[in-house]
């Protein structure tokens, strides 16, 4: 599992890693923090896993630039499954797929990622995802399971990446996210 790790969106990755850290799974995985497009390409090329997941998190203003970066990465290192999450993927999952990502994770990501890891990257039957099947048809798997806010730590101890303490999540102004 490769995190396209950008300073602007690290906290979401930290929460996901904290949930994964507490989740027993039979799936063996390794986590790589790729802080640039070049580092992402290198990590994909060096991966020894049968399936490589690259996790992206971004806001809508960054979507176009990151879609260009994604195209460059996919051309240089094909074969990985690129999963977009966070605000943009939740608000615009079809546009996210059309821009080149393989899977859009919508809404809360903890339970979705845990199940995706348990299933070794196979999105079939996992709630909280939008993707295209092998025939190119759009698949929407429904709402992700939401855990209580305090179910998981806000940061992973293993990777020593800290977050501020969460007291709320989503938009207090009634956004869909």
Neighbours of 170 (CB within 10 A): 14
Least confident of 34-43, 89-98, 144-153, 164-173: 164-173
Q: Is residue 41 part of a domain?
A: yes
Query: What are the beta bridge partners of residue 2?
Result: 32, 54
Q: Is residue 29 part of a domain?
A: yes
Q: Are 49 and 146 in contact (CB under 8 A)?
A: no
Q: Is residue 64 part of a domain?
A: yes
Domain containing 21: what range? 2-140
Neighbours of 135 (CB within 10 A): 5
Q: Is residue 158 part of a domain?
A: no
pLDDT in tens, 44-70: 999 988 899 999 999 999 999 999 999
Query: CATH code at 106?
Result: 3.40.50.280
Give me the number of domains the chain comprises: 1
Q: Is residue 153 part of a domain?
A: no
pLDDT in tens, 12-37: 888 889 989 988 898 989 999 999 99
The structure's pTM equals 0.88
């Amino acid at each position: 599992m490769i995190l396209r790790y950008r300073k602007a969106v690290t906290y979401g990755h930290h929460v996901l890693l904290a949930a994964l850290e507490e989740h027993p799974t039979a799936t063996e995985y390794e986590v790589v923090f790729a802080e640039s497009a070049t580092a992402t390409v290198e990590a994909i090329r060096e991966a020894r896993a049968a399936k490589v997941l690259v996790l992206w998190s971004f806001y809508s203003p960054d979507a176009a630039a990151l879609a260009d970066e994604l195209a460059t990465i996919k051309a240089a290192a094909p074969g990985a499954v690129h999963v977009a999450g966070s605000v943009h993927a939740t608000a615009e999952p079809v546009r996210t797929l059309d821009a080149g990502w393989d899977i859009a994770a919508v809404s809360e990501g903890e339970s979705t990622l845990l199940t995706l890891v348990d299933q070794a990257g196979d999105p079939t039957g996992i709630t909280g995802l939008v993707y295209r099947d092998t025939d190119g048809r759009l698949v929407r798997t429904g709402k992700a399971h939401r855990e209580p806010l305090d179910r998981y730590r806000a940061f992973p101890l293993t990777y020593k990446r800290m977050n501020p303490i969460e007291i709320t999540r989503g938009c207090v102004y009634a956004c869909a996210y």
